[in-house]
Amino acid sequence: MATATTPSDRRGVLKLLAGFLGAGMAALATVPVVGSVLTPLLRKTPSAGGFIDVLAEKELVADVPHRVELSSTQIDAWNTSTAVLGAAWVLKKKDGSLTALSTVCPHSGCSISQKTKDTYGCPCHASTFSLDGTATEGPSPRPMDPLTVQVKDGRVLVKHARFRIGTKEREEI
């Protein structure tokens, strides 16, 4: 036996459907808001220990040292900050190969600058280095510290590293 539906039953069903539809639309409306709140948490933070893009290879001239800053951009949830980690002397040789040397003096940590066309010099205690980093004068206990360098898609990438100062043996810290 079939049961007849009354107008008030149909109104109840329609109200229920309208309620579900409204709740569904409200839930959909929150997706962009929730997404924008959570997106910063899902971003990757660049590693300070990774390679740092320092300049275009075409900017380098053979046998002319180029000082570059090594900085890292950190994305921490909603904040982006850039920290300077150090600096390097990048040198392109005539054969096209690249070297990178830390500017931190192995003696006491002062910043090494270019002294002449063919030498680097430390202003603190007058250590002198050749362009390949060899210590030639002064109290530096070892050559300048090499950094890993590579070229990718025409960009020069240098890997930042820190070394113990004041020691004859090179030790990364």
Task: Using CB under 6 A, count the residues that bind ligand FES.
Answer: 11
Q: Tell me the closest approach of the beta carbon of residue 102 to ligand FES, in angstroms.
A: 12
Choice between 115 and 155, CB closer to ligand FES: 115
The binding track of 98-137 with respect to ligand FES, each residue x by CB under 6 A or -, is: -------x-xx-x-----------x-xx-x----------
Q: Tell me the closest approach of the beta carbon of residue 135 to ligand FES, in angstroms.
A: 9
Q: What would the DSSP string read from start to end of 99-152? A: EEEESB-TTT-PBPEEEETTEEE-TTT--EEETT--EEESS-SSPPPEE-EEEE
- Sequence-distant (6+) residues with CB within 8 A of 57 are 92, 98, 151, 154, 155, 156
Report d(CA 132, CA 26) in Å as an integer: 66
Q: Tell me the closest approach of the beta carbon of residue 109 to ligand FES, in angstroms.
A: 6
Q: Tell me the closest approach of the beta carbon of residue 96 to ligand FES, in angstroms.
A: 31
The binding track of 51-90 with respect to ligand FES, each residue x by CB under 6 A or -, is: ----------------------------------------
Backbone Cα Rg of the chain: 31
Member of 48, 139, 143, 162 binding ligand FES (CB under 6 A):
139
Choice between 88 and 122, CB closer to ligand FES: 122
- Sequence-distant (6+) residues with CB within 8 A of 127 are 105, 107, 112, 121, 135, 137, 138, 139, 140
Largest CA distance in the chain: 109
Residues that bind ligand FES (CB under 6 A): 105, 107-108, 110, 122, 124-125, 127, 138-140
